[in-house]
Amino acid sequence: MKNEQQAVGSAPQPASIKDVEAGARARMEKALAGLQHDMAHIRTGRASVSLLDNIRVDYYGTPTPLNQLATLHVPEPALITVQPWDVSQITTIEKAIRSADLGLNPGNDGKLIRVPIPPLTEERRKELVKKLHAVAEDHRVSMRNVRRDANEQVKKLLKDKTISEDDDRRAHDEIQKMTDGYIQKLDQAAKGKEKEILEIR
């Protein structure tokens, strides 16, 4: 978050309200995409290869993303299969999945790793929903920071007499509308994810 604010501080001053709005929109899109990315790593009761996105395997001394060493499939709703390209790495890959703190217990038959996705307990669902709410709130705060930065840039344009007071008012309204729209999209995405987590299969 801090880095983002510093980066904004050093950005060149926008020449017009259009520039301010375009910059704000791009940063809000980024925050929304960031939420989608973070939500993909929160478990639901359903199997998804994105669950294994953050797993790194020690491949001849180099931590390597799992999807660069194997083909991942979801043949059924509660199962992920991992087909290593180099079968000699099967136990290393299995170990990496087991120690990834995802609560998964893979097994292999010498060629293929099967990762059953256990049903979530009520308690685990509640923990995941709490985590989801925290992640969503972080991205909401990002969006509010974007709004604040954009409003300050508009105020500077007014102070420099580049725009009129009417323009200033209109720009603030527009930035608020944009922020509301993006926060609504964020809330809808988080609600959809929460429903998935709480869904009993």
Per-residue pLDDT reduced to its tens digit, 65-122 = 998 999 999 998 889 999 999 999 999 999 999 888 777 889 999 999 999 988 888 8
Q: Which residue type, as a one-letter code, is found at position 101?
A: D
Average pLDDT of the residues of the chain: 87
Q: Which residues fall within 8 angstroms of residue 85, CB to CB, at 6 or more apart?
A: 69, 70, 71
Asked whether the predicted pLDDT for residue 8 surpasses 60, the reply is no
Higher-pLDDT residue of 3 and 53 is 53
Higher-pLDDT residue of 6 and 141 is 141
Widest pairwise Cα distance in the chain: 73
DSSP the chain: -HHHHHHHHTSPPPSSHHHHHHHHHHHHHHHHHHHHHHHHTS--SS--GGGGTT-EEEETTEEEEGGGTEEEEEEETTEEEEEESSGGGHHHHHHHHHTTSS----EE-SS-EEEE-PPPPHHHHHHHHHHHHHHHHHHHHHHHHHHHHHHHHHHHHHHTTSS-HHHHHHHHHHHHHHHHHHHHHHHHHHHHHHHHHH---
The least confident of 3-7, 89-93, 125-129 is: 3-7
Higher-pLDDT residue of 102 and 154 is 154
Q: Which residue type, as a one-letter code, is found at position 169?
A: R
Asked whether the predicted pLDDT for residue 3 surpasses 70, the reply is no
The least confident of 37-51, 75-89, 96-110, 137-151 is: 37-51
**What per-residue confidence (pLDDT) applies to 69?**
92
Name the pTM for this structure. 0.69
Asked whether the predicted pLDDT for residue 154 surpasses 80, the reply is yes
Asked whether the predicted pLDDT for residue 4 surpasses 60, the reply is no
Buried b (16+ CB within 10 A) or exposed e, 84-116: beeeebbeebbebbeebebebebebeeebbebe
User: Between helices 2-9 and 122-159, what is the axis angle to 10°?
Assistant: 10
Residue 107: φ, ψ to 5°? -140, 150
